[in-house]
Amino acid sequence: MLQVTVMPDGDRWKVRHNFYNKFYPARGEALLAAVDIAHAAALLHNDAEVLMHQPGGDHVVVWLAGRDPYPPPASLTAEPD
């Protein structure tokens, strides 16, 4: 399964999978990019999920290919208050 992880990195957000690392200025942009990567993998018949790094080191699945809609709802990529 391809796991795409979104995590804070200072004042930006990092999207990581395998040897790929890319930085984004906002959480929503990073999440959308991560879902795009996972969705592309799913189109090639790979299981894929997007994980969000949580304080304390845990990860939570926020998007799963085949379960969640693509494109993702705006509520997923909205910036938290």
Per-residue pLDDT of the chain (81 residues; tens, 9 = 90+): 999 999 999 999 999 999 999 999 999 999 999 999 999 999 999 999 999 999 899 999 999 999 999 999 999 988 876
Q: Is 78 helix (H, G, I), strand (E, B) or coil?
A: coil
Task: Quickly list DSSP for 11-46.
Answer: TEEEEEETTEEEEESSHHHHHHHHHHHHHHHHHTT-
81, two tokens:
């208050």
Other beta carbons within 10 angstroms of residue 75's beta carbon come to 6
Look up tokens 């999440």; give the residue.
31
